[in-house]
């Protein structure tokens, strides 16, 4: 069974969702929780069985789908995708567990389970077409969640979300087809397998064009400035559960795809575009931080801060060295946990007051002390305080990019401080001072169901902030192999020098050890 | 005194006519049955038609096996040409007709199906289309085309509504004009080369090195215009939305598939050799037609307020998309054409059947068209299964993986990439994104809006019978599980297309 664990992880929720249609309305929540707990347990089993010392793909499965055109159902997991898969299972679980009373709860849970299938599929796929199938399919459940349970502008927001991402990924599809065609020209067989593509060395001009095609697809998903305009709408209108999954998992698809596709396939182009992308990332960090500061709506603050942190992830990715990429993958997980938690927290207050305007609150710390504490911890994590989960990722990402450019790193560092300002200001507006509004005087504190969702997140935030090794180590091993691959594949001198050669370093250390003897 | 011509019967290879003769025999039989006893129920005729179509399918299967073994078969003084293209397209024609004819078994009684002539004409039409694709003789193409078209005009007019007559007359007028263009084009080619067989024309033109390029271009212009009408290529598309609106939804779905594949095959036979022999002008014009058809039809579809008209424009756009295959002209692109059209026939027939199932006998008050978007508002709450299936068809038409049409799009764009048409590939991809919007609009109405007051969901299944449901179920299953059948299908298509030399 462990040989097919990835297929099980993908299709178990989908099959469970299909069976879910038979279940009576009142019992559906229990069913959803049960299914997602099993799924989470399976993902933990995957972690347990995962060999953290191996750098390559594990638990690979391969079934021929369309051999005439080189499309195969290939799955596999390495240190990069492992934790995002676990995160996806985890967030679906707490998302369903903490689901507050919604209309048509049955449809919602079935949709969430379908969404889980697509999320796990994206991160486990090792064939570009299979990847694309899950990537596109993930839009449909999210469209429905935003469009059916969202706020007043929900239809506009959901359609905008869908069309933006759809258009971007179609350009990516053309890129995928080109890549397969180049592979066909080089070897005489069609193949969409990513591991086959890794062996292909492309001329630099081809790399540049293909990089752009893939970049458009990924950048819209991340979303990078200036393609980010769909995100505030999506977050603003989506129900809590939608925002949580969107911020925690769906956005990670873009940054994950950068590391899985763009970097190893086009190392020279990655170096060529390193500074432009870094500048976009920094604009994204600073600009969205400033926009966040101007927001009246606490959910928009969280949404823009989430975009801002995605900028740091992109920056770390394009540091193109082990520290930066490891940091950015760790930050993906951290950002998932923290921004997911913040959206859940916003959902808590929205359920009580049915407003998200910060001016409506004030002095909540005295009314809801537990809520204020948890919010405070998550806010500190979001700001990147040491000993919280975000700090590790941000530090590593910036450390990685520091080796490429001092000034840009410094700018990014400053931007993170700006991030602290708006978050603290928002916290001040909501929690400190005296209670001015009559309605806020008797708000109930967080209840058990919400605590079930929030406490594990707090524990993870602090645990991985203090001791990130169990997660960092497998990530690091896989990233090292990718960076080495990039270095070996790079053609231009510039790229060779920007991307470190890990083998040589090991040799040097070995010789120095020998000299020492 | 002339010598009597001695032709041995074997050399005529009369078996090549079998697939076309079967529906003709069927049609005649239906007429005879009606002559002896009139007023029989439509179920009899539906089942009879299905039986003959199944026999037709069997005969096609037989010729497919023969083709796979011995290659192209000629027959009847070399007029009939049974090659891979002919066989594949006949499979699509007969297969789509098999899916269409049970749609006559509606719950409500509709006027046109009570006439046995409807079914006789239908079978005549099929044999017309079959003749059209199974020859490279321009005259036989013309005969097939006219047989099929005249039958089709009548079938449209039989749907007894004011708009149906308008539609039929409009289609007839445009069709007659197209036929005129066609015969004029054929005449030019005959005058140039002394032959009406496409391969002869190609040989003669190549032999004198396209000396009369001016006249060739005139011939091409007429041909292009005539196929433009038949394929509803922009700017010859103006009849299409009105005709679709006037005919029944089932007939509209059928019209978006079968006549077009027949026209595509003839266009492929004729234009392929012209493009390959470097008639640059044709390439440029086709390129422009393809791009404009895709894009403009998509934009018009955006602003429609009736689902059927939207689907009409969308099928124009799909036709433009597929027309690109003829422009690219590689084995892969021609295979992609067939793959796309097979996938498209499932999905499109499915979605038109959903409309057909919800067809009311009379328009309710305050509703100006049969299938306005408002009618579908909040369908998920009143008729969830129907809404999910309709949503599925829309997603497939939009090209969302892993549903049927995605694979057609994938292979088609890939063939553009392989053929060196990078910009075209990008335009095709972006057009799919534009198209996403109007398919999504229906999904938005169905899943995210509240139903109109007084709509209890019965309207969506007003016409449902077991036959309709099974057809829709079949289309839905085909749409979802297309990827299972993809590999054998692709191998078969590629082998057949390659073996026919395209």
By a Cβ cutoff of 8 Å, what residues of chain A touch chain B? 64-69, 107, 129, 132-133, 136-137, 139-140, 143-144, 147-148, 154-155, 158-159, 162-163, 166-167, 170-171, 173-174, 177-178, 180-181, 184
User: Taking CA atoms, what residue in A is nearest to B398?
Assistant: A166
The verdict on a CB contact (< 8 Å) between A68 and B440 is no
The verdict on a CB contact (< 8 Å) between A147 and B491 is no
E strand spans, B91-236: none
Give me the residue spans of the domains in chain B. 12-499
Cβ contacts (< 8 Å) between B424 and chain A: which residues? none
Tell me if B259 sits within 8 A of B129, measured CB to CB. yes
pLDDT for residue B366 = 63
Q: What is the DSSP string of B352-383?
A: HHHHHHT--SSPPTT--STTBGGGGTTHHHH-
Residue for token pair 């750098």: A55
Distance CA B120, CA B134 (A): 21
Mean pLDDT for the stretch of residues A475-492:
88
Give me the residue spans of the domains in chain A. 273-467
Q: How far is CA B94 from the centre of its chain?
A: 11
pLDDT for residue B491 = 92
Cβ contacts (< 8 Å) between B479 and chain A: which residues? none
Distance CA B186, CA B196 (A): 7
Cβ contacts (< 8 Å) between A64 and chain B: which residues? 487
Say if B442 is an interface residue toward chain A (CB within 8 Å).
no
Confidence of residue A332 (pLDDT cuts 50, 70, 90): very high
List the structure tokens of B221: 């212009």
Angle at B72 between CA B68 and CA B77, to 5 degrees: 145
List the structure tokens of A299: 């959910």
- How does pLDDT run across A208-223, given as a tens digit for each residue? 999 999 999 999 998 8
Say if B413 is an interface residue toward chain A (CB within 8 Å).
yes
- How does pLDDT run across B1-60, given as a tens digit for each residue? 677 777 777 777 778 888 899 999 999 999 999 889 888 888 889 999 999 999 999 999
To the nearest whole angstrom, how far is the Cα of A115 from the nearest Cα of chain B?
15
Tell me if A81 sits within 8 A of A123, measured CB to CB. yes
pLDDT for residue A509 = 52
pLDDT for residue B1 = 64
When CB atoms are compared, the residue of A158, A166, A178 closest to B436 is A166
To the nearest whole angstrom, how far is the Cα of B62 from the nearest Cα of chain A?
25
Q: What is the mean pLDDT of chain A?
A: 87
Q: At what angle do helices A5-20 and A79-97 cross, to 10 degrees?
A: 20
Distance CA B322, CA B320 (A): 5
The verdict on a CB contact (< 8 Å) between A68 and B487 is yes
- Does A76 sit behind a cis peptide bond, omega within 30 degrees of 0 on the bond before it? no
Residue for token pair 């799919």: B432
- How does pLDDT run across A136-178, given as a tens digit for each residue? 999 999 999 998 888 888 889 999 999 989 999 999 999 999 9
- Does A226 sit behind a cis peptide bond, omega within 30 degrees of 0 on the bond before it? yes
The verdict on a CB contact (< 8 Å) between B414 and A180 is yes
B123 CB-side CA count, 13 A: 29
**Whole-Å CA distances, B428 to A101, A310, B270, B396, B417:** 44, 31, 24, 16, 11
Q: How far is CA B302 from the centre of its chain?
A: 23
Say if B429 is an interface residue toward chain A (CB within 8 Å).
yes
User: Taking CA atoms, what residue in B is nearest to A133?
Assistant: B401
List the structure tokens of A513: 């050890």
B212 CB-side CA count, 13 A: 17
Q: DSSP alpha helices (H): ranges in A105-260?
A: 105-124, 128-137, 139-149, 154-187, 194-197, 204-221, 230-237, 240-245, 251-257
Q: Within 10 A of B249 (CB to CB), how many other CB atoms are there?
A: 26
Q: What is the DSSP string of B393-422?
A: HHHHHHT-TTSHHHHHHHHHHHHHHHTT-H
Which is more confident, B2 or B410?
B410
Q: What is the DSSP string of B199-246?
A: HHHHHHHHHTTTTTHHHHHHHHHHHHHHHHHHHT-TTS-THHHHHHHH
Q: How far is CA B68 from the centre of its chain?
A: 25
Dihedral class, residue B57 (left if φ above 0, else alpha if ψ from -120 to 50, else beta): alpha
Interface test with B, best of A18, A25, A68 (most B CBs within 10 A): A68
The verdict on a CB contact (< 8 Å) between A174 and B491 is no
Angle at A477 between CA A473 and CA A480, to 5 degrees: 135
How many Å from the N-terminal Cα to the C-terminal Cα in chain A? Answer: 49
Residue A324: name the closest of A485, A476, A152 by CA.
Answer: A476
Cβ contacts (< 8 Å) between A154 and chain B: which residues? 448
Distance CA A332, CA A252 (A): 6
ipTM of the complex: 0.91
Give me the phi and psi of A174, to 5 degrees please: -60, -40
List the structure tokens of A239: 């129900």
Spell out the residues 6+ positions from residue A78 whose beta carbon is closer than 8 angstroms to its own: A55, A56, A57, A58, A474, A478
List the structure tokens of B95: 């297969």
Residue for token pair 């004009």: B177
- How does pLDDT run across A22-41, given as a tens digit for each residue? 888 888 889 999 999 999 99
Residue for token pair 């507006």: A429
Cβ contacts (< 8 Å) between B414 and chain A: which residues? 69, 177, 180-181
Tell me if B101 sits within 8 A of B50, measured CB to CB. yes
pLDDT for residue A383 = 86
Distance CA A441, CA A241 (A): 27
The verdict on a CB contact (< 8 Å) between B429 and A171 is yes
| % residues pLDDT > 90 (chain A) | 35
Distance CA A468, CA A461 (A): 10
Say if B77 is an interface residue toward chain A (CB within 8 Å).
no
When CB atoms are compared, the residue of A67, A132, A167 closest to B433 is A167
Tell me if B392 sits within 8 A of B480, measured CB to CB. yes
Give the global pTM.
Answer: 0.92
Report whether pLDDT(B94) > 90.
yes
Segment among A164-173, A205-214, B70-79, B235-244 with least mean pLDDT:
B70-79
To the nearest whole angstrom, how far is the Cα of B315 from the nearest Cα of chain A?
20
Report whether pLDDT(A352) > 90.
no
Tell me if B405 sits within 8 A of B340, measured CB to CB. yes
Q: How far is CA B198 from the centre of its chain?
A: 22
């Amino acid at each position: 069974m462990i040989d097919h664990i990835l297929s099980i992880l993908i299709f178990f929720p989908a099959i469970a969702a299909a069976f879910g249609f038979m279940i009576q309305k009142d019992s559906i929540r229990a069913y959803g929780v049960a299914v997602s707990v099993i799924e989470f347990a399976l993902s933990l089993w995957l972690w347990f069985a995962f060999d953290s010392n191996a750098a390559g793909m594990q638990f690979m499965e391969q079934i021929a789908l369309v051999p005439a055109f080189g499309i195969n159902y290939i799955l596999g997991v390495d240190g990069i995708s492992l934790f995002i898969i676990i995160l996806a299972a985890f967030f679906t679980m707490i998302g369903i567990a903490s689901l507050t009373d919604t209309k048509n709860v049955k449809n919602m849970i079935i949709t969430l389970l379908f969404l889980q299938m697509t999320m796990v599929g994206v991160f486990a796929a090792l064939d570009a077409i299979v990847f694309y199938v899950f990537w596109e399919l993930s839009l449909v459940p999210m469209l429905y969640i935003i469009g059916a349970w969202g706020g007043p502008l929900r239809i506009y927001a959901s359609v905008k979300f869908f069309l933006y991402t759809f258009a971007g990924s179609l350009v990516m599809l053309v890129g995928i087809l080109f890549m397969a065609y180049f592979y066909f020209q080089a070897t005489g067989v069609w193949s969409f397998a990513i591991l086959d593509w890794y062996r292909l060395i492309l001329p630099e001009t081809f790399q540049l064009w293909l990089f752009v095609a893939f970049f458009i697809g990924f950048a819209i998903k991340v979303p990078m400035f200036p393609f980010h305009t769909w995100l505030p709408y999506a977050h603003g209108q989506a129900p809590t559960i939608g925002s949580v999954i969107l911020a925690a998992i769906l956005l990670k698809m873009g940054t994950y795809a950068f590391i899985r596709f763009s970097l190893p396939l086009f190392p020279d182009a990655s170096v060529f575009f390193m500074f432009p992308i870094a500048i976009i990332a920094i604009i994204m960090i600073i600009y969205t931080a400033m926009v966040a500061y101007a927001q009246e709506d606490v959910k928009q603050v969280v949404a823009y801060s989430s975009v801002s942190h995605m900028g740091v992830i992109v920056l770390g990715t394009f540091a193109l060295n082990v520290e930066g990429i490891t940091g950015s993958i760790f930050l993906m997980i951290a950002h998932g946990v923290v921004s997911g938690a913040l959206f859940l927290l916003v959902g808590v207050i929205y359920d009580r007051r049915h407003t998200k305007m910060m001016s409506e609150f004030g002095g909540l710390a005295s009314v809801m002390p537990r809520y204020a504490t948890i919010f405070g911890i998550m806010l500190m994590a979001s700001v990147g305080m040491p000993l919280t989960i975000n700090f590790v990722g941000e530090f590593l990402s910036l450390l990685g990019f520091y080796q490429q450019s001092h000034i840009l790193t410094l700018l990014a560092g400053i931007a993170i401080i700006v991030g602290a300002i708006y978050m603290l200001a928002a916290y001040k507006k909501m929690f400190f001072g005296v209670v001015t509004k009559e309605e806020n005087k008797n708000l109930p504190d967080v209840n058990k169901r919400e605590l079930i969702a929030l406490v594990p997140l707090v524990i993870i935030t602090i645990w991985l902030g203090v001791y990130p090794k169990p997660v960092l180590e497998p990530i690091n091993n896989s990233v090292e192999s990718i960076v080495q691959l990039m270095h070996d594949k790079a053609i231009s001198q510039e790229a060779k020098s920007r991307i470190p050669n890990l083998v040589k370093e090991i040799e040097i250390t070995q010789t120095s050890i020998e000299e020492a003897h | 005194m002339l010598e009597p011509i001695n032709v041995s019967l074997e050399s005529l290879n009369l078996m090549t006519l079998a697939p076309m003769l079967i529906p003709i025999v069927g049609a005649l039989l239906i007429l005879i049955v009606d002559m002896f006893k009139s007023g029989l129920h439509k179920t009899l005729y539906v089942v009879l038609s299905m039986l003959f179509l199944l026999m037709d399918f069997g005969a096609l299967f037989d010729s497919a096996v023969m083709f796979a073994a011995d290659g192209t078969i000629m027959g009847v003084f070399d007029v009939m040409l049974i090659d891979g293209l002919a066989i594949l397209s006949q499979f699509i024609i007969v297969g789509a007709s098999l899916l269409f004819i049970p749609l006559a078994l509606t719950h409500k009684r509709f006027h046109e199906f009570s006439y046995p002539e409807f079914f006789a004409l239908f079978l005549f039409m099929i044999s017309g289309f079959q003749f059209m694709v199974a020859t490279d003789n321009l005259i036989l193409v013309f005969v097939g085309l006219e047989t099929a078209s005249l039958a089709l005009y009548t079938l449209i007019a039989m749907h007894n509504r004011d708009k149906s007559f308008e539609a039929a007359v409009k289609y007839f007028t445009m069709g007659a004009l197209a036929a005129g263009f066609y015969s004029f084009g054929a005449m030019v080619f005959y005058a140039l080369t002394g032959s009406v067989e496409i391969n002869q024309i190609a040989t003669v033109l190549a032999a004198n090195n396209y000396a009369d390029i001016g006249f060739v271009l005139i011939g091409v212009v007429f041909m292009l215009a005539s196929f433009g009408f038949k394929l509803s290529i922009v700017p010859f598309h103006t009849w299409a939305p009105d005709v679709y609106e006037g005919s029944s939804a089932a007939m509209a779905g059928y019209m978006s598939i079968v006549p077009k594949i027949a026209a595509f095959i003839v266009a492929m036979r004729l234009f392929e050799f012209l493009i390959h022999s470097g008639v640059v002008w044709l390439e440029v014009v086709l390129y422009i037609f393809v791009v404009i058809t895709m894009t403009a039809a998509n934009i018009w579809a955006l602003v429609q307020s009736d689902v059927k008209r939207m689907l009409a424009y969308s099928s124009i756009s799909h036709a433009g998309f597929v027309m690109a295959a003829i422009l690219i002209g590689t084995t892969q692109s021609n295979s992609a054409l067939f793959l796309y059209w097979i996938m498209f026939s499932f999905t499109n027939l499915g979605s038109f059947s959903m409309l057909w199932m919800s067809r009311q006998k009379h328009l309710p008050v305050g509703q100006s068209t049969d299938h306005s978007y408002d009618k579908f508002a909040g369908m998920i709450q009143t008729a969830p299964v129907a809404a999910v299936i309709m949503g599925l068809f829309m997603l497939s038409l939009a090209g969302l993986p892993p549903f049927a049409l995605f694979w057609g799009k994938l292979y088609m764009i890939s063939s553009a990439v392989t053929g060196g048409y990078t910009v075209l590939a990008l335009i095709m991809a972006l057009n799919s994104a534009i198209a996403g919007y109007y398919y999504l609009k229906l999904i938005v109405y169905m899943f995210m809006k509240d139903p109109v007051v007084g709509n209890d969901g019965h309207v969506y299944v007003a016409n449902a019978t077991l036959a309709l449901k099974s057809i829709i179920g079949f289309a839905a299953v085909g749409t979802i599980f297309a990827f299972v059948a993809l590999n054998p299908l692709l191998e078969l298509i590629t082998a057949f297309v390659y073996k026919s030399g395209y």
